[in-house]
Amino acid sequence: MGLVKLKQIVVGVGLLTVVVFCYTMVFMLPKTESVDIRGFFEHRHDTLPANYVKPINGFKPAETGIEKIPPAPQLDQHVVFNPKDAGQRRQFETYQEKHENAIDEANQVMNMKKKIEEDKRKVAEEQAKEEKDKLMEQLKKGSSALGTISAYDNTRGNPTDPDIIEKRESIRNMMKLAWKGYKEFAWGANELRPISKSRHSANIFGSADTGATIVDALDTLYIMGMHKEFKEGAEWVMGLNMNSRTDISVFEVNIRFIGGLLSAYFLSGDTTLLNQAKIITDKLLPAFNTATGIPYALINPTTGNVKNWGWASGGSSILSEFGTLHLEFSMLSKATGNPVYLEKVVKIREFLRKADKPNGLYPNYINPQTGAWGQRHVSVGALGDSFYEYLLKSWVLSDKTDVVARQMYDEAVEAIEKHVMGKSPGGLTYLGEWRSGRLEPKMGHLTCFAGGMFALGAEGSKDKDHYMKLGGEIAHTCHESYDRATLKLGPEAFHLSGGNEATALRANEKYYILRPEVIETYFYMWRLTKDPKYRQWGWEAAQALEKNCRTENGYTGIKDVYAAKPQYDDVQQSFFLAETLKYLYLLFSDDDLLNLNEWVFNSEAHPLPIIKQS
């Protein structure tokens, strides 16, 4: 069918070429002594009055008193048309005939063009349909190696305290607005611009419309009981094709898409979501073909070409990216029964375990072919963060059987405490940026997730109280960064020295892009300590979001948390729906909703079930 249409297009293009040629030839006819027939193309006259004066080049309109014709452009030679002159009349009629023929031909060209466009559209539609049908077939095939998963009961964890019920309901309403705006103005795009009411994407997602917000939001919609919205999102996902013609980020696709689809599968029991996760993961696999097994950061899913970010130290891969795959890949192997995904991440882990580590620390950059570390920069924030998170969570997800991961986590945290952690003059505990032995007293918003991580890792550590305390201290520092800002939302980065404690200094540190990390830490601290201040702090953040980031059609980031009034960045990040709102909602739910003894949240807050070993 596709071939027949292709032939039609070729014939069409041929015909179009002939017609355009004829048409051009008419235009190229030589100008006669007195008449330029090109003028005919500008005015069409079906009936001529007896004393009609043709306004064509070379004829000067006569003032007849009966009809005034707009004057033709002034030329050197002017001829008054005399309708009684048979010769002139014949000449005129010949031109008129040519004119009409040319118009007919022009119409034919237009029709032909329309037809070609129409045919092209049909071919594209058929191709898309064929691809979608093929995808649907694949999605329906293959059952889960875990057997039937029954749908999760989202009504668990309903609070009973009327104040908490009300707060939880307002978080749900925030989700409703975020989803509604996205659906209305950016459906299928990666993200929404709520103010300009338009579509947004970032380079991490590549060139295609891959609905990052839909995939990221599915599980949040599910647990909030927004079933109609979940269904429309899940249906859209059935047609999702990672067919970008430019590079996509292996890490981002993993945490948002593969993680999001796996979660939605485990909550709803819909196997097509699992199969979609598998199809997308398979597209990433060429990135892992390196000497060390450490993947490249970027892959073009159309060509299979791979590379690293141009800015990453000497062509390195990044720790927080290749170190944040273990949960999803190991779960995918469990659910599909195919070991290939687990093999990939175990190889990465083994390489890192055996590598020489300066002061027991993991630098952020490594060359995936030589295995050599790049710049000696260590961070528990940007470029490092979720690597540490995934060591701990791999152990939790494996029902505490992955002891290698736990040991690597414990050793890494010990080194972090020794070299990357500091106390500000005002007594705030922070995690800074370590560069070749020097600790910079500056902490990123991203680093604030670590409060929750320390608290989660306390159980099973050598000193539970110590790590719970550390979690609380990081939560406190990060809360200070919110509290000291005019708009009560935290900056992207803040300093902890010289009278600038927990505040940003430079303009490029002052923005807030709806990030979740601080609220994530409040959530873990609340679940693990039950200290009401964490709910209080979470509520303060929710109110600040309502006041400063809410717009008529969704939520936006802001450019300066110290400004008197918010200036919008006009982007509703997909992680706002995946993480920020989910952690807020869970903060005001009882522990039974996604209980931490049963579920592990990936780096994008997508819950994966702990598969019990006995």
Smallest distance, ligand DMJ to C-beta of residue 600, A: 14
Which residues contact residue 397 at a Cβ distance below 8 angstroms, ignoring those fewer than 6 apart?
Answer: 327, 330, 331, 600, 608, 610, 611
User: Among residues 40 and 599, whose Cβ is nearest to ligand DMJ?
Assistant: 599
Interface residue with ligand DMJ among 575, 583, 599, 601 (CB under 6 A) is 575
User: Among residues 139 and 215, whose Cβ is nearest to ligand DMJ?
Assistant: 215
Cα dihedral 84, 90, 91, 95, rounded to 10, equals: 120
User: Among residues 473 and 579, whose Cβ is nearest to ligand DMJ?
Assistant: 579
CB 289 within 8 A of CB 361: no
**Active-site entry in 191, 480, 492, 501:** 492
User: Among residues 191 and 604, whose Cβ is nearest to ligand DMJ?
Assistant: 604
Closest by CA to 297, choosing from 356, 253, 329, is: 253
User: Among residues 229 and 604, whose Cβ is nearest to ligand DMJ?
Assistant: 604
Q: Indicate the SS3 state at residue 165.
A: helix
User: Among residues 139 and 397, whose Cβ is nearest to ligand DMJ?
Assistant: 397
Q: Indicate the SS3 state at residue 345.
A: helix
Smallest distance, ligand DMJ to C-beta of residue 324, A: 6
Interface residue with ligand DMJ among 603, 606, 608, 609 (CB under 6 A) is 603
Distance between CA atoms of 481 and 489, rounded to whole angstroms? 8
User: Among residues 57 and 213, whose Cβ is nearest to ligand DMJ?
Assistant: 213
CB 484 within 8 A of CB 503: yes
Residues 223-252, mask of contacts with ligand DMJ (x by CB under 6 A): ------------------------------
User: Among residues 491 and 516, whose Cβ is nearest to ligand DMJ?
Assistant: 516
User: Among residues 21 and 311, whose Cβ is nearest to ligand DMJ?
Assistant: 311
User: Among residues 19 and 431, whose Cβ is nearest to ligand DMJ?
Assistant: 431
Say how many residues make up the chain: 614
Interface residue with ligand DMJ among 472, 604, 606, 609 (CB under 6 A) is 604
Smallest distance, ligand DMJ to C-beta of residue 576, A: 9
Residues 359-398, mask of contacts with ligand DMJ (x by CB under 6 A): ---------------------------x------------
Distance between CA atoms of 28 and 31, rounded to whole angstroms? 9
Sign of torsion over alpha carbons 366, 317, 577, 443: positive
Which residues contact residue 592 at a Cβ distance below 8 angstroms, ignoring those fewer than 6 apart?
Answer: 156, 157
Query: Which H, E and C letters describe 129-163, residue by residue?
Result: HHHHHHHHHHHHCCCCCCCCCCCCCCCCCCCCCHH
Our finding on whether 215 is near ligand DMJ (CB under 6 A) is: no
Smallest distance, ligand DMJ to C-beta of residue 574, A: 8
Window 443 to 502, contacts with ligand DMJ (CB under 6 A)? 446
Window 254 to 283, contacts with ligand DMJ (CB under 6 A)? 255
Window 74 to 103, contacts with ligand DMJ (CB under 6 A)? none
Smallest distance, ligand DMJ to C-beta of residue 437, A: 27
# residues near ligand DMJ by CB under 6 A: 9
Smallest distance, ligand DMJ to C-beta of residue 575, A: 4
User: Among residues 81 and 322, whose Cβ is nearest to ligand DMJ?
Assistant: 322
Q: What Cα–Cα distance (Å) separates residue 130 from each residue in 39, 125, 137, 140, 294?
A: 50, 9, 11, 15, 35
End-to-end distance of the chain based on CA atoms, in angstroms? 55
Distance between CA atoms of 440 and 476, rounded to whole angstroms? 20
CB 67 within 8 A of CB 47: no
Smallest distance, ligand DMJ to C-beta of residue 380, A: 12
Distance between CA atoms of 69 and 176, rounded to whole angstroms? 64
Smallest distance, ligand DMJ to C-beta of residue 390, A: 10
Distance between CA atoms of 219 and 198, rounded to whole angstroms? 24
Helices (H), 420-511: 450-458, 464-483
Name the CA radius of gyration of the chain, rounded: 33
Smallest distance, ligand DMJ to C-beta of residue 182, A: 17
Distance between CA atoms of 259 and 332, rounded to whole angstroms? 10
Window 114 to 153, contacts with ligand DMJ (CB under 6 A)? none
Which residues contact residue 482 at a Cβ distance below 8 angstroms, ignoring those fewer than 6 apart?
Answer: 488, 489, 490, 518, 537, 540, 541, 544
Smallest distance, ligand DMJ to C-beta of residue 125, A: 35
Closest by CA to 587, choosing from 258, 307, 172, is: 172
CB 61 within 8 A of CB 71: yes
Interface residue with ligand DMJ among 515, 535, 582, 606 (CB under 6 A) is 515
Distance between CA atoms of 400 and 386, rounded to whole angstroms? 19
Smallest distance, ligand DMJ to C-beta of residue 386, A: 5
| Active-site residue, 492 included | yes
User: Among residues 36 and 433, whose Cβ is nearest to ligand DMJ?
Assistant: 433
Q: What Cα–Cα distance (Å) separates residue 172 from each residue in 161, 234, 446, 482, 587?
A: 16, 19, 24, 23, 12
Closest by CA to 511, choosing from 538, 473, 549, is: 549
Query: Which phi and psi angles does 561 have, rounded to 5°?
Result: -75, -5
Report the run of H or E that residue 495 belongs to, with start and end. strand 493-495
Burial call 3-39: b when 16+ CB within 10 Å, e when fewer: eebeebeeebeeebeebeeeeeebeeeeeeebbbbbb
The residue at minimum Cβ distance from ligand DMJ is 603
Smallest distance, ligand DMJ to C-beta of residue 191, A: 12
* Residues annotated as catalytic (active site), given as ranges: 492
Residues of this chain that interact with ligand DMJ (CB under 6 A) are: 255, 386, 446, 515-516, 575, 579, 603-604
